[in-house]
Amino acid sequence: MKTIKVNIVTPDGPVCETDANTIIAVTEAGEIGILPGHVAMVAPLKIGSLRLIKDGVTEHVAVHGGFLEVRPDVVTVLAQSAEMASTIDIARAQAAAKRAEATLRAKKDDYDYQVVELELKRAINRISVYETRKK
Ligand code: ATP
């Protein structure tokens, strides 16, 4: 089966360099599936799970915004932060979710609702991607 290269890069450095038969990404326009030979394109990513499927095995990567660049032989993800399911610190993600939820509940005047909402979305995404490890 044909494969396509995948590079996931963040400001902290490379997160993953591998190849896959199919890549499924959550873009602002919706979910897309990428196969080897896909037409070149660039798309903004949502906070979500990037799925790398190879030989019937799916690997999940928590990706937090950024861009997807597709070329026929390589897919590059440039994200502010990204973690493979196996590197997620679940206690940290749960603590971040609790913190964000408490801030949203408190509804203080001086907090930035959008920033806290994004913190919560990142934490929920990490928890959800971590859960896929058990499946
Ligand atoms: P926190 O409040 O726990 O720092 P955050 O959403 O503000 O979470 P980010 O700014 O998205 O964190 O990421 C900062 C760095 O920490 C990145 O390198 C990211 O990969 C890493 N990181 C954040 N949360 C986790 C986690 N639960 N497990 C592993 N790495 C994490």
- Predicted local distance difference test score (pLDDT) of residue 134: 58
Of the candidate CATH numbers 3.40.30.10, 3.90.950.10, 2.60.15.10, 1.10.10.10, the domain formed by 4-85 belongs to 2.60.15.10
The residues lining ligand 1, judged by C-beta closer than 6 Å to any ligand atom, are 12, 64, 81, 83, 87-89, 92-93, 96, 119, 122, 126
Closest by CA position to 58, among listed 38, 84, 77, 28: 84
- As a whole number, the mean pLDDT across the chain is 95
Query: In the chain, which stretches have pLDDT less than 50?
Result: none
- Predicted local distance difference test score (pLDDT) of residue 117: 95
pTM beyond 0.85, yes or no: yes
Distance from Cα 127 to the centre of ligand 1, integer Å? 12
- Predicted local distance difference test score (pLDDT) of residue 51: 97
Q: What's the CATH superfamily of 88-133? A: ATP synthase delta/epsilon subunit, C-terminal domain (1.20.5.440)
- Predicted local distance difference test score (pLDDT) of residue 107: 79
Q: How far apart are CA 93 and CA 112, in angstroms?
A: 20
For atom 9 of ligand 1, the residue with the nearest CA is: 81
Closest by CA position to 3, among listed 95, 59, 51, 75: 75
